[in-house]
Structure 1
Amino acid sequence: MLENLMAWLTGNLSPSARIWTALAPAIIACAYFIGGLLLFCIRCAFKGIPRDEETLKRGSTVLVGFFLRHYFFWVIQPLWAVILRSGLPANALSMLSGLLGISSGVAVAAGRFALGGWLFLFAGILDVMDGRIARERKEANPAGAALDSVLDRYVDSAMLMGLAWYYRGTWVLLPALLALLGSSLVPYVRAKGEGLGVNVRDGAMQRLERVLFMGAGTALSPILEAVFWPEEKHPMHWLAVVGLVFVAVMSNVTALSRFRNLVKALAPKRQEARSGKAILGLNALAGALATAVDFALVLALVEWVGMMPAWATVLGCGLGAVVNYSINRVLTFKSNGAVARQLARYSVVSGTSALLNAGGVALLTLHPQLAYALGWWLVRGVVYFAWNLPLQRDYVFNNEAPADDDLLEQRPHAA
């Protein structure tokens, strides 16, 4: 018995022990929550869905809807009642949640995924309850809210840092770092929006979803490893990898969506000739046609005229730029600004775009494990959406921007 206990504490587990350390808590939890779900459905059939006011205020997501959220807070009522009657302060629950969450990161870094996953899930449950306890007892205050928010960031970061440490020698390190970035940006953009008077709570991957997918995937992953790869000394824990990659992608999508909505809400309103999707489509079409014309001219000059490829490329780039400029001016942005000024600005944007693309590809080639073609497309996409499209819309073809001469006239002359 003592030997089994020491093996469990040190992590020196047999395949069957690895299965049971992951499965035993899952059996207990599943029995409780599945039984609770049946009772909840029966209760809803006769009395309707019990409405949780805080859940209604917080809203729902595509991944976890209102029904599941109301069910979760209904099924944990026994634990809620015990904690409420115990008299434990809300800040104590926040600290306990933080300690368990940080411990989960330490556990997964050492390869104890079952232990780390269950600690992370239980830390999430406590995090849900601390604010409710404070509001129920009329003890809610800004200091407690700040403590809870900061500890949440430590818990999420500790878990992801533990996963990054475990996967440091594999490709999974990149999703772990991306998940760390996205999990930090999602609450930051919301807090920044609230500070500026804009409510941005949209997105599918909020904290509840992150806790569920990362916690459940990590806690149950040793089962698959023990069944299919029992002799692996450093198993991949593929279920945890799937959850981690999903959180990495969706958390960054959520952060970017919130950031876009925040900027859109704060930016000065301007009248567009057409929708953003139409502008994006026409701008992309202009780029594609310009590239086709560029290539056709180079091919003709080299094959039929016998010109050197280098000079043909220069002429092809020039013609492609003219085609791209003309289509964007006439069709995409319907601009009526001064042609000379627009051409000068277009040249600046195109030149800097070429430098950014070349520099980005050069940096990515420092990592030979990344395919060159993938790096090329990645850089092109980032530069297009972050530099080319916004500057063409707001700098080159912006009809609302006054000309440079007008700006000079508006400045007061020195006495």
Structure 2
Amino acid sequence: MIKSEAWFVLAVFVLMLSLGLIYFLRGLAGGGFKRYERVDRQGGSALLGKGVMNFAVWCVEPLVRLLQRCSITPNQVTFVSLLLGLLAAVSIAFGHFGCGFFLALLSGISDVLDGMLARLQATSDRGGVVLDSTIDRYVDFMLLAGCALFFRHQTWALLGCLLAIHGSFMISYTTAKAEAMTLAVPRGVMKRTERYVYLLLGLAASAFWPQGLPLLLVIWVLAVLGNVSAALRFRALYLSARAG
């Protein structure tokens, strides 16, 4: 029997499949799929291609226009993302993975919306960028901390959560350091978008698995690939700094 909160996951996946079919048919009928400057700037990777990222931005475009008509500000959306991330972390900590998935998904959508809304309203500034980046770090930590609390009695699982937290912050640090030193940002896998998507998939699968095994597997993927990617980024940044 499917747990009640697992219906959140099924509803989201049915919606995404429906939107994916519409997106695919519109792309074929229109002679191509829509591309976004935001996605081109961030770039895809072997773990998350640009096609999926363009599809995600296309899905939330109507929401951006709705927020614009309602006079919602980007900073308000950013703080909503923080609140949803906190609620998702609490849900994960208590083993409610379906609710955690749904709330984390809404938090991630809010994070996409605030930047798009700022560009639409022509209100993007450095203060908003700093706020958005800071909130992102808090949400990243809270979600993985929620996982750590759930797995707190399992040593290897807890270790994976801690390593995943370390990897995520070191990748963010290399990006910030490169930008501060006006050097090219090192490329690699396990950027925030990729980590977020994989964590969502782990939560979604764990809604049907009470012990959270799919989530644990995803966490170890984040831990290993995240820290390897961070090390490779540091090496590239170090060599670039020495060459400059």
With the shorter chain as reference, the TM-score category is over 0.9
Q: 1:152 aligns with which of 136, 142, 158?
A: 136
Q: 2:203 aligns with which of 197, 218, 241?
A: 218
Q: Return the offset for 1:199.
A: 2.2
Whole-angstrom CA distance in 2 between matches of 1:222 and 1:42: 31
Q: How does 1:129-208 map to 2 (within 5 A)?
A: 129-170=113-154, 171-208=156-193
Q: Percent identity?
A: 31
Whole-angstrom CA distance in 2 between matches of 1:156 and 1:31: 26
SS in 2 for 1:140: coil
Q: How does 1:110-125 map to 2 (within 5 A)?
A: 110-125=94-109
In the other structure, the counterpart of 2:218 is 243
The superposition leaves residues 98-142 of structure 1 with CA deviations (integer Å, 9 ceiling, x where unpaired) of 111122112212222221222112101110110111111111111
Whole-angstrom CA distance in 1 between matches of 2:183 and 2:63: 35
Given the alignment of the two structures, is residue 37 of structure 1 paired with residue 12 of structure 2, yes or no?
no
Name the CA shift for 1:201/1:266 in 2 (closer, same or farther; >3 Å): closer
The structure with more radius of gyration: 1
The superposition leaves residues 134-187 of structure 1 with CA deviations (integer Å, 9 ceiling, x where unpaired) of 111111111111111111111111111111111111120011000000111111
SS in 1 for 2:35: coil
Whole-angstrom CA distance in 2 between matches of 1:42 and 1:111: 38
SS in 2 for 1:76: helix
What's the TM-score, normalizing by structure 2?
0.93
The superposition leaves residues 359-401 of structure 1 with CA deviations (integer Å, 9 ceiling, x where unpaired) of xxxxxxxxxxxxxxxxxxxxxxxxxxxxxxxxxxxxxxxxxxx
The ranges of structure 1 where at least 4 consecutive aligned residues each deviate by more than 6 angstroms after the TM superposition are: none
Q: Which amino acid aligns with 2:19?
A: G
The superposition leaves residues 57-93 of structure 1 with CA deviations (integer Å, 9 ceiling, x where unpaired) of 1111111111111111112222232222221100001
Contact 2:87–2:103 (CA<8 Å) still a contact in 1? yes
Name the CA shift for 1:196/1:141 in 2 (closer, same or farther; >3 Å): same
Q: Which amino acid aligns with 2:179?
A: E
**Greater RCO, 1 or 2 (C-alpha within 8 Å, sep 6+):** 2
Contact 2:206–2:212 (CA<8 Å) still a contact in 1? yes
Q: Return the offset for 1:201.
A: 4.7
The superposition leaves residues 214-263 of structure 1 with CA deviations (integer Å, 9 ceiling, x where unpaired) of 122113303133xxxxxxxxxx3111111111111121122112111111
Q: How does 1:227-376 map to 2 (within 5 A)?
A: 236-268=211-243
Q: 1:68 aligns with which of 44, 47, 52?
A: 52
Contact 2:186–2:237 (CA<8 Å) still a contact in 1? no
Whole-angstrom CA distance in 2 between matches of 1:39 and 1:263: 45
Whole-angstrom CA distance in 2 between matches of 1:85 and 1:33: 25
Contact 1:214–1:244 (CA<8 Å) still a contact in 2? yes
Whole-angstrom CA distance in 1 between matches of 2:12 and 2:66: 18
Whole-angstrom CA distance in 2 between matches of 1:266 and 1:131: 30
Q: Which amino acid aligns with 1:215?
A: L
Q: 1:95 aligns with which of 71, 74, 79?
A: 79
Contact 1:200–1:261 (CA<8 Å) still a contact in 2? no
How many pairs does the alignment contain? 242
In the other structure, the counterpart of 2:33 is 49
5+ residue gaps, structure 2, are: none
Whole-angstrom CA distance in 1 between matches of 2:70 and 2:230: 38
In the other structure, the counterpart of 1:410 is none
Whole-angstrom CA distance in 2 between matches of 1:151 and 1:198: 24
What's the TM-score, normalizing by structure 1?
0.56
Q: Return the offset for 1:53.
A: 1.4
Contact 1:55–1:69 (CA<8 Å) still a contact in 2? yes
Whole-angstrom CA distance in 2 between matches of 1:66 and 1:201: 18
Whole-angstrom CA distance in 2 between matches of 1:53 and 1:126: 19
Name the CA shift for 1:268/1:79 in 2 (closer, same or farther; >3 Å): closer
5+ residue gaps, structure 1, are: 1-15, 226-235, 270-415
Q: 2:65 aligns with which of 62, 78, 81?
A: 81
RMSD of aligned Cα (Å): 1.6
In the other structure, the counterpart of 1:274 is none
SS in 1 for 2:209: helix
Contact 2:9–2:98 (CA<8 Å) still a contact in 1? no
Name the CA shift for 1:26/1:111 in 2 (closer, same or farther; >3 Å): closer
